[in-house]
Amino acid sequence: MSDINTGMVEKYRNNFLKEVEANVEEGDWVKMCMQCGVCSGSCPMGPYWDHPPQELFMMIRAGKRDEVLTSTSMWMCTSCYNCIVRCPRELPITHIMHGLAHYATRLGIEPKGQPTRQFAQLFWDNLAKNGRVNELWLGVNLYFMNGLVEGIKVAMGMAGIGFGMLKAGRLSLKELVGGHTVKDKKGFKAMIKKAQELEAARIDNAQ
């Protein structure tokens, strides 16, 4: 277990709700949930979630810390916002899902092999490096994230799509070497670094 995770367990003891309220994006909304189940019923990938949003909120209140934070559920959110516009209590459910996923990652206890977790991390790394997203690089990495053999299989399966996009001028091989970036990389990176430091300090203080 990572140090920060142990520290948080000690600090909040049995009060996981309080931990979520203090550290998870939009987490202070969780207590407003009245367990009506509308969100879970609106979720397009709902059938694949171990714990749909309503259940996650109940588990947070019941202090099921490990089950919530190691769950693959919130990683299956497509950000369709069905839940948000239908929730009678106006909870920002989509953002809480993203917030829980990020908090689990910060603590180092997220489900590492979950495919969207891997994709989301690649996306962020690509963006943080160049300021803009390089779709080809993202695709290549994505296909190979499960290892070489699996990667070649996936890449072959997707090759038709890649080729079609290439032909239609919607994918650039140039991107692999140079590609899309912001000009002020130095300022961009310093900004991200500062934002990360400020956020980390806030969460450490809560610890």
Stretch that binds ligand SF4, among 90-98, 146-154, 160-168, 191-199 (CB under 6 A): 90-98
- Out of 33, 60, 101, 107, the only residue in the binding site for ligand SF4 (CB under 6 A) is 33
Euclidean distance between CA atoms 84 and 11, whole angstroms: 31
Euclidean distance between CA atoms 198 and 184, whole angstroms: 21
**71 close to 105: Cβ distance less than 8 angstroms:** no
What are the backbone angles phi and psi of residue 62, rounded to the nearest 5°? Answer: -85, 0
Long-range own/partner contacts, residues 81-88 (CB < 8 A, 24 or more apart): 82/42, 82/43, 82/44, 83/38, 83/39, 83/42, 83/43, 83/53, 86/38, 86/39, 86/42, 87/38, 87/39, 88/34, 88/36, 88/38
For residues 8-27, which are near other proteins according to CB under 8 A?
25
* Residue 94 touches ligand SF4, criterion: CB under 6 A: yes
* Residue 89 touches ligand SF4, criterion: CB under 6 A: yes
* Residue 205 touches other proteins, criterion: CB under 8 A: no
* Residue 97 touches ligand SF4, criterion: CB under 6 A: yes
* Residue 201 touches ligand SF4, criterion: CB under 6 A: no
Residues that bind other proteins (CB under 8 A): 25, 44-45, 48, 76, 78-82, 84-85, 94, 98-99, 101-102, 105-106, 110, 115-121, 123-125, 127-128, 131-133, 135, 139, 142, 157, 160-161, 164-165, 167-172, 174-175, 180, 182-184, 187-188, 190-196, 198-199
